[in-house]
């Protein structure tokens, strides 16, 4: 797809709603788009055993959100490092902002560069579908590639298609922690939605699988930017 305007896109979706999968598919279809996934960012920091990783691991294990200020600073510095804090860059944020405070902080830091978020898409997947899906989710941790044993299995069982490295199940995908994460998401969703609705940049796509949701997402992006 050829886009004519810079895309500054946020994907909002419950854990397990397919944000990771849809992000990868979108990046393949829209060459000028790059993404930051805060979950992947934090998991890589944990793997590196960095200071950020040591703060993050306790929260992630319990399924809790990291403090807003910490996350806002992390994302802001990541945007800066990648030289995306300008009004020419196109990017997608997956997993951030997750609270109204994070959205407000993001807004402040983008506003000074005349680069506010110009599209927010909520991925609306029924919770019962998500719960069923999550037990089949396996990931390639270094890249963030996500597989579903039922819908999108790896070519070789439990191995990443690209590197052949082993896949893992995320420790925070166990039923107890997952419930905390899912409840947390729905608690934050309404104020976030309202925030972006007021700015006139909010849209929603619904469906039970990423194969159903993806074409709808692509259409929303195409309509807005090409």
> Residue 25 is encoded by which pair of tokens?
């598919």
β-pairing verdict for 202-206 and 34-37: unpaired
The C-alpha R_g of the chain, in whole angstroms, comes to: 17
60 or 221: whose CB is closer to ligand AMP? 60
Options 11, 18, 33, 98; binder of ligand AMP; rule CB under 6 A: 98
71 is a site residue for ligand AMP (CB under 6 A)? yes
User: Contact 103/185 with Cβ under 8 angstroms?
Assistant: no
137 is a site residue for ligand AMP (CB under 6 A)? no
The DSSP bridge partners found for residue 93 are 10, 36
63 is a site residue for ligand AMP (CB under 6 A)? yes
Closest approach, Cβ 52 to ligand AMP, in A, equals 11
Please compute, for residue 175, the number of CA atoms within 13 A of its CA located in the half-sphere on the CB side: 2
Close Cβ partners of 63 (under 8 Å, ≥ 6 residues apart): 172, 176, 177, 178, 179, 180, 181, 184
Q: Please calculate the CA angle 90-182-127 and round it to the nearest 5 degrees.
A: 95
Residues 165-184 close enough to bind ligand AMP by CB under 6 A = 172, 181
Residue with CB nearest ligand AMP? 39
Q: Kindly indicate which of the ranges 45-53, 55-63, 110-118, 151-159 contains the residues binding ligand AMP, using the contact rule CB under 6 A.
A: 55-63
Residues 78-97 close enough to bind ligand AMP by CB under 6 A = 95-96
Site string for ligand AMP, 9-48 (x = CB under 6 A): ------x----------------------xx--x------
Residue with tokens 């200071």: 51
Binding site for ligand AMP (CB under 6 A): 15, 38-39, 42, 59-60, 63-66, 71, 95-96, 98, 102, 172, 181
């Amino acid at each position: 797809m050829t886009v004519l305007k810079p895309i500054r896109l946020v994907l909002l979706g419950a854990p397990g709603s397919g944000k990771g999968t849809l992000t990868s598919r979108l990046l393949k279809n829209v060459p000028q788009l790059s993404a930051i996934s805060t979950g992947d960012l934090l998991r890589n920091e944990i793997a590196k055993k960095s200071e950020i990783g040591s703060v993050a691991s306790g929260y992630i294990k319990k399924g809790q959100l990291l403090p807003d200020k910490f996350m806002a600073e992390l994302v802001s510095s990541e945007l800066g490092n990648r030289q995306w804090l300008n009004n020419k860059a196109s990017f997608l944020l997956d997993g951030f902002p997750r609270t109204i405070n994070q959205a407000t902080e993001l807004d402040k830091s983008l506003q000074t560069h005349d680069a506010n978020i110009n599209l927010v898409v909520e991925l609306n997947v029924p919770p019962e579908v998500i719960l069923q899906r999550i037990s089949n989710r396996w990931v390639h941790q270094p890249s963030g590639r996500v597989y579903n044993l039922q819908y999108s299995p790896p070519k070789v069982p439990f191995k990443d298609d690209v590197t052949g490295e082993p896949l893992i199940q995320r420790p925070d995908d166990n039923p107890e922690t997952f419930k905390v994460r899912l409840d947390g998401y729905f608690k934050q969703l309404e104020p976030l939605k309202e925030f972006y609705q007021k700015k006139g940049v909010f849209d929603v796509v619904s469906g039970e699988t990423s194969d159903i949701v993806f074409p709808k997402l692509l259409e929303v992006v195409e309509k807005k930017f090409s």
